[in-house]
Structure 1
Amino acid sequence: MNDTPERPAPVALEHRWSRRLVLWAAVLTLANVLADVAIGSPMMVLPQLMERFDTDQAAWLNASAMLAGALWSPLLARSSDVFGKRRTLVVTLLLACAGALVCFAAPNVWLFLVGRFLQGAAFAAIFITVALARQICTPRVAMALVGLVTSGSSIVGVVEPFLMEPVIDVFGYRSVFVVAALLAAAAAFCVRSLIPESPIRGTGRIDVGGALLLGGGLGAVLAYASLGSDLGWLSAGMVTLLVAGAAALAAWALLARRVDEPIVDLRALSRPVLLTLLALVLAAGSFRSMLQLTSVVAQVPADLGLGYGLGDGEAVAVLLAAPNVGIVVGGTCAGWLAGRFGPAPPLLGGIALGAAATFAMLAGVSVLPLAIACGALVGVAAGAIGASGYNLATSAEAPERQGTTAGLVSVVLALGSVVFTFAGGEVLKATHSSETFAGGAPASTATGVYLYVAMAGVLFVLAVVPAVMLARHRPAAPVEPGAPRRPGRSAADTPGEPVGRRTG
C-alpha cells in the first residue's frame, strides 16, 4: 500500500441546510444521545444494582463507564482518522450495544463492570460525530451542525427521568440496559444506512501500545480523582492506581517521541489547538463544578440559617433542567455564529457569559429565581464552549487528523470536569457546619459555598486569557476538501487543508 498522502479529488459536500442535512443531524444526535443514556441511565437504578450484586462500591458502578470512555478515546479517535469516521462510529455503537447486553445478563459485579467497560465506548460517539460532520459538510454548514449534535442530546437530561421511570416501574430496573442496547442498535443501523463515509482519511498504522498507555493512564488518573473521596485518597488501592496512571502517561510521552506515528503527535499540536485545550479544561471545570453546587444548594432549607439554601430538594429538578435547556440553546447558537464569524468569538462569549453567571450565583445561592436564571446562563455558556471548542480545535487541524483532535477535546473536557468538581467538593467538605440536611448529611458553611463559587468564577476568568488570544489571532479559515493548495505551503502552514487520501 502506498502511504504517501495524495491531494484528494473534489468531493460533493453538503453546502446548505436541506431535508437530507436535517436527517443527518437527527441521526448524529441520536448517536450522541446514546452516550448520555449508556453512561447516565444506570445511575437511576444504582440502589437496585448494589443490592443485586451485594456490593457497597457505588462509586465504581457510577464512574466505570466514564473511565472506560477515557481509555477507549485515543484508540477510537485515531481509528476514525485511518479507517473512516462512519465505520468507526458504527463499531463504537455496536460495542456500546454489546456492553448493555452484558450488563443486562451479568450474574456478578465483575462481568457487569466488563459490560460497563464496553458501554464506555459510547463516550467516543460525541467526538466522532463532530469529526464526521466536519468532513461531510462545507465548513460553514459543518460548524452549525457541530453545535446541534454536541448540544442537542442535552435535552435528554430534561426528559429522561420522565421517560425512564415508567419503563423501570413496569419492566424492572434492568430495562435501562435493554433501552440502551436498542438505542445503540438503532443508531448503528441509521448511521450505516443514512450517513455518508468521511471522504478523507489519514495513512499509516495505529500505535495500539501508545493508545493503551495513554487511555489507561488517563483512566487511572481520572479514577483516582473520581473515587478517592469515597475509597480513601491514601488507601493502598488508590495510591497504586495513581502511581500506575502517572507511570503509564510518562511511558506514553516517551513513546510518542520515539515512534514515527504516535497515537497523538505532541510535536504536531499547533498553538491554536493547545490554547483551545487550555481554555476548555478551565471552562469545563468551572461549569461542571457549578452544576454540582446547584444540586447541593437546592437541598438546603432556606430556614436552616446558614446564609444560603433554596429549599428541601423540590428545586433540584428545575435547577438541573435549566442548564440542560441552556446547553441546547448555547450550542446551537454558537454553531450558527461560528459558521459566520469563526468559532473563536463564540468561545470567548461563552466563557465571558459563564463568568458573569457564576459570580452572580454569589447572590443566587439564597434566591431561587436568580439561581435558576444563573443555572440557565451557565448552561448556555457550557453549550457554546463545547461546540466552539470542537469547531476551533478541528478547524486548526488537517482533516486527516480531525478525529484525533476531536478526541483530545473530549478527554480534556472530561478531565477538567472531574478534577475541578473534585476540588469544589473538597472545599465544601473542609467547611462543614454543625447543621445537617438531606437525611443527616453535613452542610457546608456559607463561607464554603462562597469560596466554591469564587473558585469556579476564577476558573472562568483564567479561561478568558487563552480565549482572547485565540480571538485576536484566529487561525486561517479551513479550506474545503478538494480545494487546491497554494504553492509552497504545507498542511501545517494552512490548518484545515486536506492532505490525506480520498476514499470512495
Structure 2
Amino acid sequence: MASETRRTHHQVTFAVLAAGVNAYALLQSLVTPVLPTIQADLHTNQNTVTWVLTAYLLSASIFTPIMGRLGDMIGKERVFVATLSALAAGSLLAALATNVQVMIIARVVQGIGGGVLPLAFGIIRDEFPREKLSGAVGAIASLSAVGAGLGIVLAGPIVHALDYHWLFWLPMILTIAAAVAAAIFVPESPVRTPGRISFLPAVLLSSWLVALLVALSQAPSWGWASGKVIGLFAAALVLAVCWVAVERAAATPLIDMSMMRRPAVWTNNLVALLFGVGMYAVFAFLPEFVQTPKSTGYGFGASITQSGLILLPMTVTMFLVGLGASGFAARVGGKTVVLLGSLVGTTSMALLAFAHTHTWELYLATAVMGVGFGLAFAAMSTLIVSAVPPEQTGVASGMNANIRTIGGSIGAALMASVVTAGPAADGLPREAGYTHGFAMLGGALLVAAFAAVLIPVGARARRVEFVHESAQEAAHGAAHAPHAAVPGGTVGRDTVTGDAVAGDRAE
C-alpha cells in the first residue's frame, strides 16, 4: 500500500525533476553566446574565458557518475536535493564573481549539478508506475536537450533586458525552488546498493577525463600535433586503461564494467557519443555562423538574440517529438526510433552544410534537427534504463549522459579546427570552413545510424523483472493481458512496456 501511495503523485514528482533538469541544462548553454561580454567585463582574454565553459564541462564529466553512484547508495532523493543545492551555490558565486578566477571556480561547483540526470532517471525508475516509465524517461531526456538549446535562445533577451549576471541569478532561483520542492514532494526511493565510493577509481576517472577534455579544448590553440596535446592524449589513454583495470578489480566499483559491456548499454553509449559530437558543436558554432558580418558574403550579421532564435525551432520540435517518442517506440521498437533519429539528424546537418543561403533554410534545418534529436534521445534513455538492474540505473544513465557530454567536447574541438583552418584575410573563417564542419557533423550522425543497427532487439535487449505468481494469478493475467501464463508460476515483465515476457532474465 505504501508503494501505491508514493506513486499516486508521480505527476508532481515529474514536475519537480523536470525543473531541476532544466536548470542544469540551461546553465550548459546560457553563457555560450555571451562569452565575449564576460571576457570584457572580467578583463580577461579569449583563451582564459573559454575555461568558463571548459571548467563546467570537466566538473560535470567527473561528478555525473559519482553523484549517480551516491544516489544508488544512500538515496536518490537526498542526493538529488544536495546536487541542486550545489548547483544553486555555484550559480550564486558566478552571479557575484568579479574576476575570471572566481567565475571558473563557480562553474566547477555548478558542474556537480551533472548528477541531476542519473538521479532523475533513477527516481523515475524506482517510483513511477510501470506504464508511465517509458514516457517519463523519454520526456526528461528530451527536456535535458531542449533546455540546453533554450539557453542559447534566452541568453540574448536576458542580457539585453538585464545583464549577463542574470544568466546565473535566474537559474539559481529556479534551482532553489526545485530543491525545496524535491525535499517536500519527491519520495525517497527504496532501492539501495550497499557499498562505498572507492577513492582510487574516482581519482583515475577524474584524471583521464581531465587529460582528455583539456587536450580536446586546447588543441585548436595549441595545435593538434603539439607535444602538450599528444602528451595529454597519451596520459588520458594510460589513465583510462588503469581506471578500467581498477574498476574491474574493485569490490565496490564506481562503474560496473560488466554492466558497461552489455550490448544494449555500449551500443547506446556509442550513439550518445556521436550525437553529442553533433549537438554541442551546433550549439557552439551555428550562432557564430549567423553572427558573421554580411561583408564576408555568407554571414547574416545577426545579433545574439537573432542567432539564438535560429535554434528555437529545434527546441520546439525536440520537445514535442520527445513527448511522443515513447509511444512510437512501443509500436516500432526503440532501436528503430534511434536509427530513424540518426538518419533525420544526418539530413539536418546536410541542410546546414549545403543549404544556408537564406534564414528560412536555417530554420528548416534546425526544426528537422529537433525531430531527429528528440527521437534518438528519448529512445536511448529508455533503452539504457530498461537494460540494467534498478540498482544500476543511476550509474548507467549517468554515464550515458556523461558520454554525450564528452562527445560534445570532441565535436566542439573538431569543429573549431575545421572552421578556423585557412581563415580569410580579415581573420574571419571562410564559408568553406563551416560547410566542411557541418558536413563532418553529418558524417558523425551517419556513423551513429550504423551504430544504432548494432543495438540488440527482442527479449534479450530488455531488462526484465521477474515476479512470482501463483498458477491462478498467472492464469488470470493470461486472460486479461497479451501473454501466456508460464508453467511454474514465473512471469517475466518488461519494465518499460509493462508487458509480461516468458523466458530467462535478459542480460
Is TM more than 0.5 here? yes
How many residues are treated as equivalent by the alignment? Answer: 472
Instruction: Choose the corresponding residue for 2:271, options 268, 274, 279.
Output: 279
Deviations 1:163-199 (A, max 9, x none): 6336634xxx434433333222211111121122223
- Kindly indicate whether residue 448 of structure 2 is the aligned counterpart of residue 463 of structure 1: yes
Q: TM-score, normalised by structure 2?
A: 0.82
Which amino acid counterpart does residue 443 of structure 1 have in structure 2?
Answer: P
246-255 vs 127-136, which moves further: 246-255
Deviations 1:449-481 (A, max 9, x none): 443233222222221223123265564444458
Contact 1:351 1:385 in 2 (8 A): yes
Which amino acid counterpart does residue 428 of structure 2 have in structure 1?
Answer: P
- Kindly indicate whether residue 436 of structure 2 is the aligned counterpart of residue 451 of structure 1: yes
The answer for the alignment partner of 2:486 in structure 1 is none
CA distance in 2, matches of 1:257, 1:411: 20
Which amino acid counterpart does residue 321 of structure 1 have in structure 2?
Answer: L
Show structure 1 runs of 5+ residues with no match. Answer: 1-8, 497-504
The answer for the alignment partner of 1:168 in structure 2 is 162
DSSP 3-state at the match of 1:418? helix
345-354 vs 149-158, which moves further: 149-158
Cα offset for 1:158? 6.6
- Kindly indicate whether residue 332 of structure 2 is the aligned counterpart of residue 346 of structure 1: no
The answer for the alignment partner of 1:4 in structure 2 is none
Deviations 1:382-432 (A, max 9, x none): 122222211111211011001000011011101112112322221222243
Q: How does 1:91-490 map to 2 (within 5 A)?
A: 91-106=82-97, 108-152=99-143, 154=146, 156-157=150-151, 160-161=154-155, 164-165=158-159, 168-169=162-163, 173-230=164-221, 242=233, 244-269=235-260, 270-300=262-292, 304-305=296-297, 309=298, 311-313=300-302, 316-339=307-330, 341-434=332-425, 436=426, 441-446=427-432, 448-470=433-455, 472-473=457-458, 475-479=460-464, 486=490
Change in 2 beyond 3 A, CA 1:47/1:470? closer
RMSD: 3.4
Deviations 1:223-247 (A, max 9, x none): 3212332455567776665555444
Contact 1:139 1:480 in 2 (8 A): no
Change in 2 beyond 3 A, CA 1:55/1:371? closer
CA distance in 2, matches of 1:67, 1:88: 20
The answer for the alignment partner of 1:28 in structure 2 is 17
Change in 2 beyond 3 A, CA 1:293/1:241? same
CA distance in 2, matches of 1:340, 1:136: 24
Q: How does 1:57-68 map to 2 (within 5 A)?
A: 57-68=48-59
Q: TM-score, normalised by structure 1?
A: 0.82
Show structure 2 runs of 5+ residues with no match. Answer: 470-488, 496-502
Which amino acid counterpart does residue 361 of structure 2 have in structure 1?
Answer: L
Which amino acid counterpart does residue 322 of structure 2 have in structure 1?
Answer: G
Asked which structure has the greater RCO (Cα within 8 Å, sep 6+), the reply is 1
DSSP 3-state at the match of 2:428? strand
Change in 2 beyond 3 A, CA 1:235/1:463? closer
Change in 2 beyond 3 A, CA 1:232/1:60? farther
CA distance in 2, matches of 1:288, 1:40: 9
Which amino acid counterpart does residue 17 of structure 2 have in structure 1?
Answer: L
Contact 1:71 1:212 in 2 (8 A): no
Deviations 1:295-351 (A, max 9, x none): 34424567755xxx3622266233222222222123222233335554322212211
Contact 1:80 1:88 in 2 (8 A): yes
Change in 2 beyond 3 A, CA 1:212/1:139? farther
CA distance in 2, matches of 1:483, 1:145: 27
401-410 vs 338-347, which moves further: 338-347
Cα offset for 1:42? 4.5
Contact 2:16 2:178 in 1 (8 A): yes
DSSP 3-state at the match of 1:161? helix
